[in-house]
Structure 1
Amino acid sequence: MADSAATISRPRVLSGMRPTGKLHLGNYMGALHNWVNLQNGGQYDCYFFIADWHALTTDYADPSNVLQNTKEVILDYLAAGLDPAQSVLFVQSHVPQHAELHLLLSMITSLGWLERVPSYKEQQENLVGKDLTTYGFLGYPLLQAADILIYQPKFVPVGQDQVAHVELTREVARRFNQYYKLDGRDVLPEPDSLLTPSPKLPGTDGRKMSKSYGNTILLSDPEPEVRRKLKTMVTDPARVRRTDPGDPDKCPVGDLHKVFSPHQTIEKVYAGCRTAGIGCIECKGWAADSLVQILNPIQQRRASYSDSDVQDVLKEGANRARARAEQTMVEVRAAMQLTPMPQAVR
């Protein structure tokens, strides 16, 4: 399906995720839910991808799970409500122009810019036992910049913790435009961060929901598994005994209610918890009820897609993404005065 003139006239947005396995509620509320709203609002030309090359920056020694994880993530994209008729959904490695632009941008990017990215030292400290002294790990923010700039988007929907990456992308685009012009104009527009709401979502142990902590509730977890995980969830430490009053504002289960439960349930939680009128087991059961209401339609959509459906979605998405990416690369190559690529090679 070719992009229509109406689609092209809308501001473009671009975002993606690394394929680290099935997605969880933290991924959903932190990104996917917002992406679906951007898509359904009709204001934006949406591109959402799976960053499989990025998975290799830390897991290069054992890539055995990347293919299966990519399949799981695209299923979760579709299950959450991303629609291939409204958004371009694709896998990063299916669009080789990402790698070409990354190479060209590496010629002008200072090492100091990459070394000061906040997550560079943080991940080196946190991912103990892995050799991260590789160019791929140092350069992953530049690959991320290429992922963005190849589509010349207006906005990149991110949470506050990702703003630094968008700022690096803007710096790279600015330097490129200083060195290279095409008919006197800039080729790579500087994208803006589109800050999206990301509510506090704790995992079952009270920490931030994360696969690395093993505390997640997956979008694909069946109802019995959701209820089992909720039963083990930590609560307000002040409630040692059933008769002790608690405070939902200090309780991870209370945080889940605030995000997923209807107003009437939240009122019952506050009244019952603060007076010890309800126990934590009952409160967790209400939270599970709310989560199941959210997850049921997601899981029904997931089950409706066959393997061939997924392959068709990714093939169509790759074709559309490659066509758009090549438009940018034609301009980049011309601005850098590189030899035009023969038509047969393209």
Structure 2
Amino acid sequence: MTKHTILTGDRPTGRLHIGHYIGSLQNRVALQNSGEYNNFIMIADTQALTDNARNPEKIRNSLMEVALDYLAVGIDPAKSTILVQSGVPALTELTMYYLDLVTVSRLNRNPTVKTEIKQKAFGESVPAGFLIYPVSQAADITAFKADTVPVGDDQEPMLEQTREIVRTFNRTYNQAVLVEPEGYFPPKGQGRLPGIDGNAKMSKSLNNGIYLADSADVVRQKIMSMYTDPNHIHVEDPGQVEGNMVFTYLDIFDSDKAKVAELKAQYQHGGLGDVKIKRYLNEVMDGILTPIRERRETYAKDMGQVAQILIDGTAKANSVANQTLAEVRDAIGFNYFK
């Protein structure tokens, strides 16, 4: 039986970074290439508007950049449907129906939303659309009857919210219309990549990320400025690997685990300088990012083709979402004119 999968974001508010790559993009490509899944991959511009309503240009300017990033990492439009959220009106109507099944207190308890509200310093001025975006995500997922959703670890509360909505809807209207999704998570320890500055999370707002579109020179400069051990002043000094971003990144990105273990031992003993390990990390990252960068440059030469991929994908998504919406309206009894 074919499974269905969709990731409800990425939000087009800037370029995607390598944290996105290990957090979900790799999984999306793997699921796509397995041939076992019907993939819907969304550019969540409507969701991005929830905290950018007064700056829509930011979203418009980023949308095609995100599309290029998708194509660059290996998302194949012949195998996956890439769609633009705002181009699928059924999602908005589904959101309205689901909102009637969720309480405000439940929305306020969502830990992911609570954390993001704090990070964005909304205070008492939280946009209503931002508060209810887990319900919008539920519409995104259920519209395509997705049973598998590749996400980072921090998105589990969003999936649980969707599962609650599915169960409540099917029970309330006594019909098994909607499908409960399960998360498809990155390997343990790779769900959230710290920033190159040692911050807990790589973030666009903190400008502490390595982006998929960065040139080789920019990546090298960022790696050479990466946070290591501030007490490792001289080459001969013993160094600390815990909290050292170079080794954190090597643990995740370098497939030669024996080599990494050897470097750690040498660094901890003393006799290995930061410059040397940073240069080695740059070689590792260059091996990963060069083919991504090259694919991106190839697609960028024909932006008309990229736009057509989004047009075709959104049209296909509309067909599927409209069918689900019709089933939801039938279950509710909103089928007066049939």
Give yes or no for contact 1:245–1:275 (8 Å, CA) kept in 2. Answer: yes
Contact in 1 for aligned 2:83/2:314 (Cα 8 Å): yes
Mapped pair 1:190 → 2:180 = yes
How far 1:309 moved relative to its partner? 1.2
Tell me if the contact between 1:58 and 1:130 (Cα under 8 Å) persists in the aligned partners: no
Once residues 98 and 148 of structure 1 are traced to their aligned partners in structure 2, the CA distance between those partners, rounded to angstroms, is 9
What is the alpha-carbon distance in structure 2 between the residues aligned to residue 201 and residue 138 of structure 1?
A: 25
CA contact (8 A) 2:24 2:185 kept: no
Alignment match, 1:308? 304
TM-score (normalizing by structure 2) = 0.92
Q: CA deviation at 1:260?
A: 1.9
Give ranges in structure 1 of 5+ residues lacking alignment.
1-8
Q: Do 1:219 and 1:298's aligned partners in 2 also have CA atoms closer than 8 Å? A: yes
C-alpha RMSD over aligned residues: 1.8
State yes or no: 1:13 paired with 2:5. yes
Counterpart selection for 1:168 from 161, 168, 171: 161
C-alpha deviation, 1:130, in angstroms: 7.4
Tell me the secondary structure at the aligned position of residue 49 of structure 1: strand
Q: Distance in 2 between matches of 1:296 and 1:54?
A: 31
**Compared CA separation, residues 316 and 267, structure 1 to 2 (3 A):** same
Could you say what secondary structure the match of 2:56 adopts? Answer: coil
8 Å contact kept, 1:333–1:340? no
TM-score, normalised via structure 1 length: 0.90
Alignment of 1:11-50 (within 5 A): 11-15=3-7, 16-50=9-43
Residue aligning to 1:337: 333
Rounded Cα–Cα distance in structure 2 between residues aligned with 1:106 and 1:309: 37
Counterpart contact for 1:246–1:275, Cα < 8 Å: yes
- 1:24 Cα deviation from its structure 2 partner: 0.6
Residue correspondences, number: 331
Partner residue in 1 for 2:278: 284
The alpha carbon displacement at 1:131 in A equals 6.6
Using the TM superposition, name which of 329-338 and 240-249 deviates more: 240-249
Q: Give the unaligned 5+ runs of structure 2.
A: none
Q: Deviations over 1:186-226 (max 9, x none)?
A: 11122222233261533221112111221111111111111
Give the aligned partner of residue 91 of structure 2: 98
Given that residues 51 and 127 in structure 2 are in contact (C-alpha distance below 8 angstroms), is that contact kept between their aligned partners in structure 1? no
Contact 2:15 2:62 in 1 (8 A): yes
Matches of 1:341 and 1:150, distance apart in 2? 22
Q: Specify the alignment match of 1:327 in structure 2.
A: 323
Amino acid at match of 1:289: E
* Paired-residue identity, %: 38
| Counterpart residue number, 2:148 | 155
Counterparts of residues 177-256 of structure 1 (less than 5 Å) = 177-181=170-174, 185-197=175-187, 199=190, 201-207=193-199, 208-256=201-249
Cα offset, 1:261, TM superposition: 2.3
